[in-house]
Chain A
C-alpha cells in the first residue's frame, strides 16, 4: 500500500526516466500565486510521468504493488499552461488504497499522444475513446479509436477550453460562421 507521494519517490529511484520534470517550476509559481483569481494550479503530490513511459509505470504498479483495478481516466484541459493532463486512478482490490498517475502532454495534435492502456486494461477502451472524442488525445495502440458520443463527421473537441461555446455551424446563431 502506497501513501500519497510515495510512488513518486519510488519511481525516482526505480525508473528515473519515467518522471516528467517539466512542470515542476510551473507548480512552484502556482503555489506562490494562490492569490491569483480563478486560475487552476497543477497538482504536484502525485507521480507525473512521461507519456511514453505510462504503460511501463502502470504495469509496475500492478505487478509490484497489486494496483490492478484501473477505475477512472480523466482528461483536464489546462489552457493557461498550454497542456492537457490525463489522470489515471488506480485502486487496490484487497486494500483501501488508491494512487493517481498523471500524464501531461501538449495541446497541439503532434504532442497530444499517449500510449493506450487498452491492450492490458480493456476497461480503458471506452474511457480513452471518450478522452479522444472530447479532448482530441491520440492513443496509439487502441483497437478502435473512434468518437464515442459525437457523430463521426463532427470536427473539433468540445470539452477543450478554447472550443467556442456559442455560434458554431451546428447552432446557426446569428453572426456565427
Chain B
C-alpha cells in the first residue's frame, strides 16, 4: 500500500523571492502546503535599542533604514510622533510638502511592489522594469530635494529639511503628465492577463473577519474588503482636505490585493493633483523655526503616532523621560505584523503559490527585523 510522507523544506534565507533575508520553514505533503513557520532575525540590528541611545534627531536617518523603499513616509511618521510628544506645531506648507512626498512614495512603492509580484509569478524582468522605470523618475525628484535617492532623511521636527522650489514643482507636474499613461498601460497589459488571473485569483484568500483579527493593515486589509485607511480614519497632516477614495477588494485573494494597489496609485495621483493646486495658498514656511532640532528635550510623557505607509499602518511609540533621548522607542512595523497572517493564507495551496502570496503581502525585511 502506498503512503505519503510529509517533507520539510527551507525556503530562504537566501532566496530571490523572499524579498530580503527571510526564511520560511515549510512542511509539504506532495506539493500541497501543510504548515509554514516564518523565521526572522537575520537583519536584526537593535534598531529600538539604538533609538534609546541616540538623540531624537539622530534617530531620523535611522528610520530611513526601516522600510527603505519609503524613507519619506518613515521620516514623516517618526517626526509626527516626536511632534506629538513635544507639542510642536507644523506649518501648513510643510504638511503639504510631506503629503506630496508620501504620495510619491506610495506610487513608487506600489509600482515596484507590483513589478516584484509579477516577477514572483514568473513574468521575469519586463513588468518589474516597468515599475522600476517609474520609481527611478520619482527617486530623481527625491534626490533633488533631499540629496539622497533612498535614504532621504528629509523630515525634521516641525517641518522638512529643505523647501521645495518651482523647478521641483514643474518636474513633479512633468512626471504626472506621464503617470496616467503608465497606469493605463499597466492595467491594459496585466489586469486581464490570463497568466496573472490563473496565478492570482482565488489564491491566498484572507477572509474579512480573519484579516481584522490578524491586525493586518494596508492593501492586505483593504483587499479583504475592509475600507480602513489611516488617512481617512484619523486624518493627519492635511489629508482631510483632499477628495480621494479607498479602493477595497471583495474576496481577499492575491488578485484583489493587486487591484487595490493599482487603484491606490490612481488615488495617490488624485491627491497629488489637489495638493499641488492647494499648496500655493498654504501658510508658513517649510519648517517651524522655533524648534531646537539638535537639543530637543520633549517633556515627560508618551505618544503614539501613525501614518498610512504604503505597506500599512506605520506607528511610532515613544516614551520620554525628559532627557535628550527617548526612554522607549518602538516601531509598529506594518510588514512585520502583516506577516503573522502568512501561514494561514498559505495553508492548503501549492508550494509555488507561497512565493506569490508572500509577494502580495509586500514585505521589506529592513522593517520586519529592525
List residues of A whose CB falls within 8 A of some B CB.
34, 37-41, 43, 68-72, 74, 76-77, 87, 89, 91, 93, 96, 100, 120-127, 134, 144, 147-151, 158-159, 165
Contact = CB atoms under 8 A, between A and B. Distances in A.
Interface residues of B, number: 43
A48 to B, nearest CB: 14
Interface string B51-63: 0010000000000
B344 A93 contact: no
Contacts of A126: 336-337, 339-340
A122 B343 CA distance: 11
Contacts of B319: 40, 76
A72 B332 contact: yes
A127 B321 contact: no
B215 interface: yes
Contact of A34 (B46, B300, B317, B328): B300
Contacts of A149: 40-41, 44, 369-370
B327 A40 contact: yes
A39 B362 CA distance: 40
Contacts of B40: 148-149
Interface in B101-158: none
A93 B214 contact: no
Contacts of B370: 149
Contacts of B44: 149-150
Interface of B is mostly: mixed
A68 B234 CA distance: 16
A40 B317 contact: no
A69 B212 contact: yes
A68 B322 contact: no
A122 B344 contact: yes
Given A37-B322, A68-B212, A96 B233 contact: yes
Given A43-B302, A93-B212, A147-B41, 14 more contacts: A38-B322, A39-B300, A39-B321, A69-B215, A72-B317, A76-B319, A89-B304, A89-B317, A91-B233, A123-B213, A123-B216, A126-B336, A148-B41, A149-B44
B340 A125 contact: yes
Given A69-B212, A120-B213, A148-B41, A74 B328 contact: yes
Contacts of A91: 233
B317 A74 contact: yes
Contacts of A72: 304, 315, 317, 330, 332
Residue from the set B228, B233, B306 with the largest chain A CB neighbour count within 10 Å = B233
B41 A151 contact: yes
Interface in B197-224: 212-217
A76 B328 contact: yes
Given A40-B321, A93-B226, A122 B340 contact: yes
B57 to A, nearest CB: 18
A89 to B, nearest CB: 6
A38 B323 contact: yes
Contacts of B321: 38-40
